[in-house]
A and B are shown apart, each in its own frame.
Chain A
Amino acid sequence: MKAFLKYREIWLLAAIVVLIGLISTRFPAFADPGNLRQVFNDTSILMILALGQMVVILTRSIDLSMASNLCFTGMVVAMLNAAHPAIPIPLLIVIALVVGLVLGAINGLLVWRLNIPSIVVTLGTLTIYRGATFVLSGGAWVNADKMSPDFIGFQRAAFLGIPVLSWIAILVIALFFVLMTRTALGRSIYAIGVNPTASVYAGIDVGRTKFIVFCISGMIGGLSGYLWISRYVIASVEVANGYELNIIAACVIGGISIAGGIGSVGGTVLGALFLGIISNALPVINISPFWQMAISGSAIILAVVLNARSERQQGRIILKKVEAA
């Protein structure tokens, strides 16, 4: 099983290397380490968001409200910063995490306590959170000139030659890796996705675990809210509109099964990188950015076709093992 997972990630990695190779035949400087660092930095927010979505999808749920959460939390921290520039950035990040956590907990409570399917809950909160952003801001924008230099500069500051944004992404990836492979919660998340009924008999509180994963995706949405706003230096109601589907796309390309239980941190990160490389490469090889949507759409379809194949094979292997026993 573990060797098999590695197998798929290696394939994804190979696809990315081939992609970079193809791009550098047209534009040699693309494969430059400096440029690749830049691509990583550009993709950081998508990677972070995709990891938050990953834990939700692994439990057979989905969180469509992440981009709206990002939009709302981003507006909260931007307005706080505009009104009180003295608030230190680490405190703002904590505020972003808490606001995101509250929004995620609302989703989680509705799923846990009322047993409403997550797609319905988050479809509702998707519009509610974005609408709430409008109510909060009165439709106004927060522009770069209202944000403090620290607010904008924090994630751009270089530490050991790499921007803080990339470090945050690396830290989040490491945390998720530990969570998924080294903790009981991570095992429960996988178990629920593979077989919810068996999980109950194994003593896992399925509802509570789902609540926790929505809290996690909410916190990630909140954190990304600050990162997004300070990166693109504008907070408005339109921020990240429709981005929830890019997040899910990154997960699917990364090999997360929408049916739950299958997927890994490495795959998700690579899936996000794949999309990030495409969006970075199109302008440099002179393809109109209008092509991006169709290309990522094709990539998603291709990925899901390949995923389905490998999942089917895996099913056969398990059966053989059972028969042999």
Chain B
Amino acid sequence: MTDVPAPRHIPDRLDKPLSSAIFSWEALLVVVAAAIFAINSFASPYFLDPYSLSDLTFNFTEKGLIAFAMALLIISGEIDLSVAAIIALASTMMGMAVQAGAGTPVLVLIGIVVGLGCGTFNGLLVTRLGLPSIVVTIGTMSLFRGIAFIILGDQAYKGYPESFAFFGQGYVWWVVSFELVLFLIAAVVYWFVLHRTSFGRRVFAIGNNPVAAQFSGVRVGRTKFILFCLTGLMSGIAAVLITSRLGSTRPSIAQGYELEVITMVVLGGVSILGGAGSILGVVLAAFIMGLVTFGLGLLNVPGIVMSIFIGLLLIIVIALPIVWRRLRGGR
């Protein structure tokens, strides 16, 4: 023991100076969120009310849950466009179960299992057959929602049991909804997994350089497969929440959510090219999107116009640091 030289201390990550924390992406998001919050509370007298603020959270909790898993997936260099279609299929299956007389626990189980199953299917296609995930999930997006359309057509499933309503409509304490609690728990879990475990480091490694990761002993295929399963699982959970909140299922449920989830992830500072991102950023982005849509909703701005703001926000927040760097670089 004594003749072995003391190992040189190699830090996991370099110490960051304070200035980099101040100019970090998350700091920018905090400023944006605070600004939107302030504008909202000036613009509408109804905004700063605990019940209003509680309603606000419903705008992002379901999409946010998926966004966490999607963040990991995008960091690893893949993408899943089928998440909204998974919601549609899982919700349809839950509707079928209700017609067969299933109770609340069975419904929840079905939603989660269908979600997980769809995610597994995506994962197998991408990792086993080595297909590009963007195309595979465009295909499964049509397939999953298509099955929902085949089963339901222009009909709707209703008649969910009363106890089922808790997941999407219930409150744990005062104005704190079950959805919000679930969102916060998921945020902590995903933060821990991504930033504090070796699994999280592997995800970053794969996103930065899949070949190097493979040669470093990272099971690239298996890690990506797990991430696809995880994204399916979160979509299944989101399906339970949405179905419970709406109390009915149509095949067009959650239409367009996939793009909103991806917008949330990218707005949160996750590089669409993979290899970089943080859960804190995604949480902040979820809040920002919730604030924007809710604030504009209080001002009676129609949903389609809100989407302009979300789109502009996405491009501006991405473009701003690039322009800023150019100006400082004097080019």
Contact = CB atoms under 8 A, between A and B. Distances in A.
Contact of B318 (A116, A130, A294, A308): A116
A110 B142 contact: no
B181 interface: no
A280 interface: no
A37 to B, nearest CB: 27
Contacts of A216: none
Contact of B138 (A120, A139, A294, A300): A300
A14 interface: no
A127 B259 contact: yes
Contacts, number: 139
Contacts of A86: none
Contacts of B81: 245
Nearest to A293: B146
Instruction: Select the residue from B141, B146, B311 with max chain A CB neighbours within 10 A.
Output: B311
B319 interface: yes
A288 B312 CA distance: 39
Nearest to A304: B135
Given A117-B273, A242-B256, A297-B146, A127 B315 contact: no
Given A135-B305, A258-B135, A301-B139, A114 B319 contact: yes
Nearest to A295: B146
Contact of A297 (B143, B262, B314): B143
Given A291-B146, A297-B146, A130 B322 contact: no
A134 B305 contact: yes
A114 B147 contact: no
Interface in B269-297: 272-273
Interface string B170-191: 0000000000000000000000
A110 B146 contact: no
Contact of B129 (A119, A132, A305): A305
Interface residues of A, number: 46
A124 B304 contact: no
Contacts of A252: 135, 138-139
Instruction: Select the residue from A123, A301, A305 with max chain B CB neighbours within 10 A.
Output: A301
A178 to B, nearest CB: 28
Interface string A127-138: 110111011000
A131 B314 contact: no
A242 B252 CA distance: 12
A110 B319 contact: yes
Contacts of A290: 146, 149-150, 152-153, 251
Nearest to A121: B315
Interface string A284-300: 00001011111111111
B255 interface: yes
A259 interface: yes
B322 A116 contact: yes
Interface string A232-266: 00000100001001001100100000110000000
B302 A139 contact: yes
Contacts of A130: 304, 307
Instruction: Select the residue from A124, A300, A301 with max chain B CB neighbours within 10 A.
Output: A124
Interface of B: 81, 125, 129-132, 134-136, 138-147, 149-150, 152-153, 251, 255-256, 259, 262-263, 266, 272-273, 302, 304-308, 310-312, 314-315, 318-319, 322-323
8 contacts: A125-B311, A127-B307, A127-B308, A131-B307, A134-B305, A294-B149, A298-B139, A305-B131
Given A110-B315, A131-B307, A294-B149, 12 more contacts: A117-B272, A123-B314, A127-B311, A132-B308, A258-B134, A290-B152, A293-B143, A294-B150, A297-B139, A297-B146, A304-B136, A308-B131
